[in-house]
Structure 1
Amino acid sequence: MDVARQLVLELYPDARAAWLGGSVARGDASTTSDLDITVLLDGAPAPMRKSLEYGGWPVELFVHTEKSLRHFADKDQERRQPTMMRLVGESVVLLDTDGCGARLQQSFLAEVAAGPKPLSTDELDLLRYTITNLLDDLADASGDERTAIASVLWQDAARLLLTGARHWSGTGKGLLREVVAYDRAHGTEHAAALMDGVRAEDDSLIVAVDHILAAHGGRLFAGFELAAPPEAR
């Protein structure tokens, strides 16, 4: 925290607020963790993201105005991955000159707690259709092809599990952590079933994915339709 605060004071002496988020703020940092620092300015310089070394730490620096913070939070809502909202909401306030640091922290934290918007019918059908095709591909695959398909399939199935229940999604290890959090809250074991299925050379991944699909109408192929967006017509 001292290093993060000093960086802000040195590089952005006119900052309105700053937050330290990510694994260091959560208390689960590893030896390779960096400092995720978000800085709020009134205006110039333009919103930006950059990586640097400071005080012996790797730093991911996110420089914003209130307008750009809202823009990226809205993007979080659209993709149902609360990256920016968590960087500010689940953080330690490093600097707060006018009360906006605490205000925005609480506002984003409330948005995270509320969860994402529900899937539309088209979004749900597209996920079911995509997963159905991957399941068909997996049934006939082996070796490297099976590994490649399984690595995509578990992620799409996890996104259906999470977003279908209005739970936030993620990418990579973040996606797996969201499934673990879902399991913890609901007393399920989807994370273990999906990961065991990816590693196995049997039908266990198919069983695990079909279990997730069953809660949302099962597999979908015949009858699937998806209209082109207005800009493509």
Structure 2
Amino acid sequence: MTIEVLEIARELVRARFPQARAAWLGGSAVLGTATVTSDLDITVLLAGPPAPYRESLRYHQWPVELFVQTEASMQHFLAMERKARRPATLRLIGRTYILADRDGSGEYLQRRCAAELAAGPAPLTVEELRSARYRVTDLLDDLTGSRDDTERLLIAADLWRATAELLLTGHGRWTGSGKWLHRELTAFDRDSGTEYSKALAHGMRSVASGNIEPMLGIVGRVLEMFGGRLFEGFRAEGPSRST
């Protein structure tokens, strides 16, 4: 990240949020993964209204995503993301440059979010693991049975996602959506000395070329790590009725 980018982000915060308790610049600009289409991800903590809201804009020709929070709204999103094991807000605060820190909350929340990211999510419950195995098994059967090339490719995309999520959450790792799921899987491989990301990507490319065997192989190996395929005997309880 360049000094120019950091100064532009600070200038935006000073101009639009002089009352901010804290603000952080996160995302690809900080992580070193920026591309020509990347934007500046800026999270701002306010004491109250007009927060919370999200806004997309341009500032000095830079595309900017603003995440304007109160402490209460931030805790709400953090709780939702912990449950889903997709730590978007934790990343946007824990892996950042501090742009403003009026009352110490900038440094405190950055440190707290970074520690939680490093600790990882809660382990899967028995029910969650069974549900994940069932979903991967179901998609695997769909891929095996399909004879339509387009349908196979769409099933394989869902299967890639479900398998990556099972692998990560089954090992106590955070997951994500889109590019972040790929990045988390790549980080897992780097830390573990494995190549699941490459194997799953190869499986996807093979399905696109008309060969499903590599995808079946890597998904089957991941399933075996967690007890194998699951269909017969699977049961999921519905929500209980309110009285």
- Structure 2 residue 50 is matched with structure 1 residue 45: yes
Cα distance, 1:196 vs structure 2: 0.5
Question: Which structure 2 residues correspond to residues 50-199 of structure 1 after superposition, within 5 A?
Answer: 50-142=55-147, 143-199=149-205
CA distance in 1, matches of 2:138, 2:31: 38
CA distance in 2, matches of 1:131, 1:204: 15
Equivalent AA in structure 2 for residue 197 of structure 1: G
TM-score with structure 1 setting the length: 0.97
- For 1:216, the equivalent position in structure 2 comes to 226
Which residue of 207, 215, 228 corresponds with 1:205?
215
The root-mean-square deviation of aligned C-alpha atoms, in Å, is 1.2
Equivalent AA in structure 1 for residue 111 of structure 2: Q
Cα distance, 1:70 vs structure 2: 1.1
User: Secondary structure in 2 aligned to 1:230?
Assistant: coil
- For 1:25, the equivalent position in structure 2 comes to 30
Cα distance, 1:81 vs structure 2: 0.6
The number of residues matched between the two structures is: 233
Q: Which runs of 5+ in 2 are unaligned?
A: 1-5
CA distance in 2, matches of 1:148, 1:136: 14
In percent, how many aligned pairs have the same letter? Answer: 49
CA distance in 1, matches of 2:38, 2:55: 16
CA distance in 1, matches of 2:199, 2:212: 12
Cα distance, 1:120 vs structure 2: 1.0
Q: Which runs of 5+ in 1 are unaligned?
A: none
CA distance in 1, matches of 2:73, 2:212: 47
Cα distance, 1:28 vs structure 2: 2.3
CA distance in 1, matches of 2:89, 2:197: 25
User: Secondary structure in 2 aligned to 1:226?
Assistant: coil
Cα distance, 1:231 vs structure 2: 4.6
Cα distance, 1:146 vs structure 2: 0.8
TM-score with structure 2 setting the length: 0.93
User: Secondary structure in 1 aligned to 2:57?
Assistant: strand
